[in-house]
Homo-oligomer: A and B are copies of this chain.
Amino acid sequence: MTVQLNETHDINLRSWVASANNAETDFPIQNLPYGMFRRQGSNQTFRIGVAIGDQILDLAAAHAVHAFAGYTELQGGHFTAAVNGQNLNGMMGLGAPVWSALRLALSRVLREGSSQQGTLQACLLAQSAAEFALPAQIGDYTDFYTSVHHATAVGKLFRPDNPLLPNYKWIPIGYHGRASSIGVSGQQFRRPIAQTKPPTSETPVFGPAKRMDYELEVGIFIGQGNALGDVINMERAESHVFGLCLLNDWSARDVQAWEYQPLGPFLAKNFASTISPWVVTLEALAPYRLGWTRDAADPQPLPYLDSADLRDSAAFDIELEVLLQTEKMRTDGTPPQRLSLSNFRHSYWTVSQLVTHHTVNGCNLNPGDLLGSGTQSGPAPEEAGSLLELTEGGKKSIALSNGEQRVFMEDGDAIIMRGWAQKEGVARVGFGEVVGTLLPARS
């Protein structure tokens, strides 16, 4: 896919939704991410919304008042059904040309001077008055392992003699995760109870996990899928991606260490994963594409994982931040404290490579499937995307500004992740945030 900018990316566009023109908003008119919302405390079904400034445009309501009347791609029963969906799966299945037409239509009707302003004003809800659901019904969730920095750091802890396995630089390592326990930002979950084997014990013990951690990831929502047996090749891979979100893949490190061989993590990961409510489309991120290169010492990708576009536009320049908010911080008014700042550009494997690798054997993807990027640690220590790395496997504690200390997570701790893309001469495109809170173990 060649990345092209169009009128929707113009930095000079302003919206009649005033808050969208604030230079610091995550949701200017150049972004237009999708999510599922309803009025807080109501028991209505969730509806598709588009974030604009501090507001949400109700997409079905906008369609009902003929906001998209001039666009042939946005007519007919399929589109109407998708727009009225109780999740984004229908929209995801419509395909890239429809997503693109809808983005253009949204950009135009939300612009200053649009004749639709009067009608669409009634289709807005303040984000502060909304609650959110998962953007999609996630059929299958796959987690990858694309940060070579994370893989090396974690590998050192689990296998000191053999940190980075020989397959790492050839295969985008991935494994299947649990879809049922994925929740939307605001998810609160109990500290898992499970079997672990402390180094000091001859036999395993049973109890609450002690080494609770987060993982800073980017989530990739699949749009149109592929039939079983078909491959989505590199050239077409991005047209099958609906958009990106933030993903916190919670991990219990002590559980993981004891259970993960030989078939991979299981109870260490499947008790909860949390994603942001907003899905940012690849088109919104077009100005933030970067070339992708391999170090001279690294093997070049096999041809099935290579493409002409790869070199100039395969990576994404997205800042990724993790903050900790302890229970004490909430009480004493200390603001959340940054634990790390990384960037998706450090990923060793690209989004296209993940999609193509996943399907090269004929595995079928469906609209709404979620791929995780794996923990996005950067090369510097302060760019580490997990406590496991920041504390060097639990050996070093982190001093917090209010006098507390942390090695792993304590009950009541909330982890906040934020993501945004920003550079001179281009509108900021943000992901909002994903928050999750660790509750005490079941008693």
Residues of A at the B interface (CB closer than 8 Å) are: 139-140, 142-143, 145, 155, 158-159, 165, 167, 170-171, 173-181, 183, 189-190, 192-195, 197, 203-204, 206, 209, 228-231, 252, 255, 258-267, 270-272, 299, 302-304, 357-358, 360-366, 369, 442
Closest CB in chain B relative to A163 CB, distance in Å? 10
A266 in contact with B362 given A190-B229, A228-B189, A442-B229 (CB within 8 Å):
no
Name the B residues within 8 Å of A177 (CB-CB): 176
Which single residue of chain B is at the shortest CB-CB distance from A145?
A: B263
Q: How far is the CA of A197 from the CA of B228 in the complex (A)?
A: 24
Which residues from B are CB-within-8-Å of A197? 167, 170
Copies in the complex: 2
B261 lies within 8 A of A302 (CB) = no
Partner of A266, one of B174, B266, B304: B174
> A365 — which chain B residues lie within 8 A by C-beta?
180
Q: Are B262 and A362 in contact (CB under 8 A)?
A: no
Q: Is the interface of A mostly helix, strand, loop or mixed?
A: loop
Chain B, Cβ-Cβ closest to A257? B167
Contact A260 B258 (CB under 8 A): no
Which residues of B lie under 8 Å from residue A266 when comparing CB positions?
Answer: 142, 173-176
Q: 11 pairs across A/B with beta carbons < 8 Å?
A: A167-B197, A167-B204, A167-B261, A173-B262, A180-B365, A180-B366, A181-B363, A193-B361, A203-B299, A231-B442, A362-B442
| Selected contact of A259 from candidates B171, B176, B204, B260, CB within 8 Å | B171
Cα separation A140 to B142 with both chains bound (whole Å): 12
Contact call B263/A189, Cβ cutoff below 8 A: no
Report A251 CB to chain B, min CB distance, Å. Answer: 12
Q: Contact between A180 and B442 (Cβ–Cβ < 8 Å)?
A: no
Q: Tell me the nearest residue of chain B to A138, going by C-beta.
A: B139
Chain B residues, Cβ within 8 Å of A192? 361-362
| A262 B229 Cβ-Cβ under 8 A | no
Quick one: which of B158, B173, B194, B228 contacts A361, CB cutoff 8 A?
A: B194
Known: A181-B228, A270-B363, A304-B206. A195 touches B176 (CB 8 A): no
**Whole-angstrom distance from the CB of A299 to the nearest CB of chain B?**
7
Which of B299, B357, B363 touches A178 (beta carbons < 8 Å)?
B363
A228 partner residues in chain B, CB cutoff 8 A: 180-181, 183, 189, 271-272
Residues in B whose Cβ lies below 8 Å from that of A263: 143, 145, 173-175, 260, 264-265
User: Could you say which residues of chain B place their CB within 8 Å of the CB of A178?
Assistant: 140, 176, 363
Cβ of A204: which chain B residues have Cβ within 8 Å of it?
A: 167, 170-171, 302
Is B262 a contact partner of A165 (Cβ separation < 8 A)?
Answer: yes
Residues on B with C-beta less than 8 A from A180 are 139-140, 228, 363-366, 369
Closest CB-CB distance, A228 to chain B, in whole Å? 6
Given contacts A167-B204, A193-B361, A271-B363, 7 further A-B pairs with CB under 8 A are A176-B178, A180-B364, A180-B365, A180-B366, A181-B364, A183-B228, A204-B302
